[in-house]
Amino acid sequence: MIKGYNNILVPVDGSESAELAFDKAVAIAMENAAHIDILNIIDTRQFMGELQDTLISGDTVYQMTNDSEEYLKSLQKKAEEQFKFKDVSYHIRYGSPKRIIAFDFIKDHNNDLVVMGATGMNAVERMLMGSVTEYVNRNALADVLIVKTDLNNEKIKK
């Protein structure tokens, strides 16, 4: 891998491919003495009612935020215990994953590499919403590495 990355963004959604991307990002960060930002985005738009005026309840957002934080903490702990890597921060954002990953977060945190899984959605979700990975790959303000294999270069099962 080319050396020179200092600040790596790893968007995660709980999918197998996102977790494999996280593992590879940690390996890259260790090789480059880089920092990792783990990001989970709560896409509240998916919970909008048909009238587009109906928002999800505060209790639901609170629970989703708590669940997200626990998940991100588990990844941070994995980096520390399994890889002996400690330069990891986690973040939760709300809104459009495409826009946040490709532009907003990178601007705010000066990321120079995005490492993400090939997909976290099924075929129907990709058709309806469009692939976040595809959008980020085309538009991101940083280099993008799309992970399709695990650390042993075995293909991700679909």
Q: Could you tell me which residue, 130 or 71, shows the higher pLDDT? A: 71
Q: Could you tell me which residue, 30 or 51, shows the higher pLDDT? A: 30
pLDDT higher than threshold 70 for residue 48: no
- Which parts of the chain fold into alpha helices (H)? 16-32, 58-82, 97-99, 105-109, 123-129, 132-139
Q: What is the arithmetic mean of pLDDT over 18-44?
A: 95
Q: Of the given ranges (13-27, 49-63, 111-125), which has the lowest mean pLDDT? A: 49-63
**Contact call for residues 43 and 132 (beta carbons, < 8 A):** no
Percent of the chain beyond pLDDT 90?
64
Specify the pLDDT at position 56: 66
Cα of first residue to Cα of last residue in the chain, in angstroms, is: 26
For residue 148, the one-letter residue type is K
Helix (H, G, I), strand (E, B), or coil: what is residue 114?
strand
Q: Name the CATH topology of 7-147.
A: Rossmann fold (3.40.50)
**Whole-number mean pLDDT of the chain?**
86
pLDDT higher than threshold 80 for residue 52: no
Tokens of 71: 């998940």
pLDDT higher than threshold 70 for residue 121: no
Specify the pLDDT at position 123: 55
Nearest to 71 by CA among 97, 41, 48: 41
Calculate helix-pair angle for 16-32, 58-82, nearest 10 degrees. Answer: 50
Specify the pLDDT at position 92: 98
